[in-house]
Amino acid sequence: MFTYIIKEVHSHQITVHYEDGSVAEVPVYDGESKETIEERISQFYHPTTTGFQTTSVVPFSVDEVGSTEEWDHSNLLSETNVELPELPEQVLTYQDMRQLNYPTIQVQLMAMHEARQGITSSLDAVDSEIISFNTIFNENMPDMTETEYNEFLEGLSEL
Q: How many domains does the chain have?
A: 2
Determine the structural domain holding residue 11 and report its residue range: 4-43
- The mean pLDDT of 56-79, rounded to a whole number, is 72
* pTM of the complete model: 0.45
* Nearest-angstrom CA–CA distance, 45 and 50: 15
Q: How far is Cα 96 from Cα 111, in angstroms, rounded to an integer?
A: 23
Of 159, 104, 111, 102, give the one whose Cα is nearest residue 133. 102
Residue 38 makes CB contacts below 8 A (sequence gap 6+) with 106
Domain-located, residue 105: yes
Q: Is residue 103 part of a domain?
A: yes
Q: Distance between CA atoms of 149 and 147, rounded to whole angstroms?
A: 5
Residue 116 maps to a domain:
yes
Residue 132 is assigned to a structural domain of this protein: yes
At position 25, the amino acid (one-letter code) is E
pLDDT at 80 over 60: no
* Main-chain dihedrals φ then ψ at residue 158, nearest 5 degrees: -80, -10
Query: How far is residue 26's CA from residue 16's CA, in Å, rounded to a whole number?
Result: 7
**How far, in Å, CA of 58 to CA of 55, rounded?**
5
Question: In 84-113, which positions are buried (b, 16+ CB within 10 angstroms) versus exposed (e)?
Answer: eeeeeeeebebebbbeeebbeeebbebbee
User: For the segment 5-59, what is each residue's pLDDT rounded down to a tens digit?
Assistant: 999 999 889 999 988 888 999 999 888 899 999 999 998 888 766 777 788 888 8
- Give CA–CA dist 92/150, Å, rounded: 11
Whether 84 is covered by a domain: the verdict is no
The answer to whether residue 49 sits within a structural domain is: no
Neighbouring C-alpha atoms within 13 Å toward the C-beta of 82: 7
Tell me, what's the pLDDT at 86? 75
DSSP lists the bridge partners of residue 145 as 91
In a domain, 13, yes or no: yes
Same domain, 153 and 95: yes
> Average pLDDT of the chain?
85
Residue 72 lies in a domain: no
Band (pLDDT 50/70/90 cuts) for residue 72 is low
